[in-house]
A and B are shown apart, each in its own frame.
Chain A
Amino acid sequence: MTTLPGQSPLLRIEDLTVSYHRVPAIHHLSLALGRGHCVGLFGPNGAGKSTLLKAVAGLLVPETGSITIGEQELPKAAPLIAYLPQRESVDWDFPVTVRGLVEMGRYHHVGLLKPFSATDSKAVADAIDLFNLCPLAERQIKELSGGQQQRAFLARAWAQEADLYLLDEPFSGLDRGSAGTLAAAIQTLKERDKLLLVSHHALAEAAELFDMALLLNGEMIACGPTSEALSPQHLECAYGTAIYSGGHRHRARP
């Protein structure tokens, strides 16, 4: 297990196996990550990056192992998690403005029918302000650029008061400028003591974007400070063979 010195971890994964139709996509993965880190998820296609994010978000049922966020197990911990979908899965024509989108983040605080309190309105205003969306607040979401759209979703997560941010390929399809503002927004979240798990396919900018990296290829190959985790030796291990073919540390339970 990779444990960081200092604080108690926010996300603790123990012996996690997730499989599709009995074919495991992640084998017996254990790790612990603390607040205030931006962790890049790397690995070849099919390494289980999306699977890991979805399992932590509670969208896939693990076959073995447990996921703990803060002190709580998954169904209860759901309000602490913000899962950002891939951009293609969002209906950008949906009749909602940026402000409406951010207000959705407050829904589990206000419940079914209660009107928004002053606290809720302030949380929404703060989130819009933090991600520099003030001039865009009344726009329909399709009228934003790719980077602004990603920031709007981060603002929703901020209004939700999530601690753990799961981002699935947020940089794909963004131009240089948009990627820059998104990187700045992610940096802001990291500085405010959130934990971010970000799947990413390009290794080139890894060191600029992430202070930690998690290298996957079905199993966890390395997890630690970016430059160490993405050492040539580890990369060879992850990308050199198409399919992980070594022995597994555990035997799958019957």
Chain B
Amino acid sequence: MNFIAHSFSALTEPFGYAFMQRALLSCALTGFTNGFLGTFIILRRQALLADALSHSLLPGLAVAALLVGLSPGGLLLGGLVAALLVALGGEFMARNSRLKDETAVASLYIIAFALGIVLIRFARFKVDLSHFLFGNILGVGNGDLWISYGAAFLTLTTLVLFQRPLLLTLFDATVARASGIRVGWIETGLLTLTVLGLVASLQAVGVLLSLGLLILPAATAYLLTDSFTRMLWGGAFLGLVSSGGGLLISFFANIPSGPCIVLVMALLMGLAYLFSPRYGVLTRVFRGSHFHEESLDRWEGHQGHDHRVPGKD
């Protein structure tokens, strides 16, 4: 009895600390929001574009650190501006020249990166960006929490409000444009939200792993369902559960929280990849090669019936 009470108090221990409560709240918000947003990124096949953007945050952070020091708001603003410049600049170049968008964005991001490294040489004080490379979830301050709230609110309301035009654009941008949807605005808005999602997850997992929160839960949901709505909310739910779970595991196992969260997401994705009822790799191996009922139906259908298609011959 004593043992049970003891382990229970050990389990609830992290919830007693204010820093841990704040960390959990921030993780849950970001995990949910980015899991939701991830569906749009995956279906537009922009996972690698988002990766380029996540790296283009870094020079922005460096410049902001030079200009306004290490205040969280300033650094986040710097990252946001840098990634937005790269993303929108890339779109602009792609629309106005022969360059395709991934070439344009890749060029701009590597240029920005080089520029950032040059700028950091002029720092008057030593800039330590390791928190932004790897995250610092236990150091979530009030400012960071407000940023999480703001990003989550803005992203979720925008995506829910414009869900229908977004869906049409994702499915077929050409047809969406023909039916009168402002596809250009939709694409720009989606890129902006992607950058916001990356910036919001800096505190939790850092620049280098921020892509994980956007891609892994949504990819897991994509392997599990054929419904767009279920993929959206499923990705959000998986993001919430795995970022919260990952944070708790990192607390008990005393390992860095960023990689821990991403690895929990990876575990779920691996399970879906192998065992998804419809699209699992192993499920396919163990399932029979075809439905015998359907073959039988066809065979019986052919007895006596003429199965040729009307309108031909």
Residues of chain A whose beta carbon lies under 8 Å from any beta carbon of chain B: 57-59, 75, 78-79, 81, 83-85, 89-91, 94-97, 100, 104, 107-108, 110, 112-113, 140, 160, 176-177, 179-181, 183-184, 187
Binary CB contact string for chain B from 162 to 200 against chain A (1 if under 8 A, 0 otherwise): 101101101110110111100000000000000000000
A91-B46 Cα distance, complex, nearest whole Å: 14
Sample (20) of A-B pairs whose CB atoms are under 8 Å apart:
A57-B178, A58-B178, A81-B178, A85-B172, A90-B171, A95-B43, A95-B227, A95-B228, A96-B171, A96-B226, A96-B227, A96-B228, A107-B164, A112-B164, A113-B161, A177-B309, A179-B312, A180-B312, A181-B309, A187-B311
Q: Among B43, B164, B180, B311, point to the contact of A79 (Cβ < 8 A).
A: B180
A112-B135 Cα distance, complex, nearest whole Å: 37
A58-B183 Cα distance, complex, nearest whole Å: 13
Residue of A nearest to B42 (CB): A95
Residue of A nearest to B179 (CB): A78
In the bound complex, residues from chain B placing their C-beta under 8 Å from that of A108 are 179-180
* Contact (A78, B180) CB under 8 Å given A85-B174, A95-B222, A177-B309: yes
* Contact (A83, B174) CB under 8 Å given A96-B228, A104-B167: yes
Residue of B nearest to A166 (CB): B178
In the bound complex, residues from chain B placing their C-beta under 8 Å from that of A58 are 177-178, 180
Contacts A75-B180, A95-B228 supplied; 4 other A-B pairs, CB < 8 Å: A83-B179, A89-B172, A107-B168, A176-B312
A95-B283 Cα distance, complex, nearest whole Å: 19
Q: Is A59 within 8 A of B178, CB to CB?
A: yes
The 7 closest A-B pairs by CB, nearest first: A180-B312, A184-B311, A78-B180, A180-B309, A57-B178, A83-B178, A140-B226
Task: Please tell me if B136 contacts chain A, counting CB pairs below 8 Å.
Answer: no
Q: Among B164, B178, B226, point to the contact of A97 (Cβ < 8 A).
A: B226
**Closest CB in chain B relative to A223 CB, distance in Å:** 23
Q: Among A78, A100, A177, point to the contact of B228 (Cβ < 8 A).
A: A100
Q: Is B178 within 8 A of A78, CB to CB?
A: yes
* Contact (A100, B227) CB under 8 Å given A83-B175, A83-B178, A112-B161: yes
A122-B301 Cα distance, complex, nearest whole Å: 31
A90-B174 Cα distance, complex, nearest whole Å: 10
In the bound complex, residues from chain A placing their C-beta under 8 Å from that of B227 are 95-97, 100
Q: Is B174 within 8 A of A59, CB to CB?
A: yes
A85-B228 Cα distance, complex, nearest whole Å: 21
**Closest CB in chain B relative to A168 CB, distance in Å:** 10
Q: Among B161, B168, B311, point to the contact of A183 (Cβ < 8 A).
A: B311
A75-B177 Cα distance, complex, nearest whole Å: 10
In the bound complex, residues from chain A placing their C-beta under 8 Å from that of B312 are 176-177, 179-180, 183-184
In the bound complex, residues from chain B placing their C-beta under 8 Å from that of A180 are 309-313
Q: Is A90 within 8 A of B172, CB to CB?
A: yes
A181-B179 Cα distance, complex, nearest whole Å: 26
In the bound complex, residues from chain B placing their C-beta under 8 Å from that of A112 are 161-162, 164-165
Residue of B nearest to A156 (CB): B175
Residue of A nearest to B39 (CB): A95
Which residues of chain B (124-183) have a CB below 8 Å from chain A? 161-162, 164-165, 167-168, 170-172, 174-175, 177-180
In the bound complex, residues from chain B placing their C-beta under 8 Å from that of A110 are 164
A90-B177 Cα distance, complex, nearest whole Å: 14
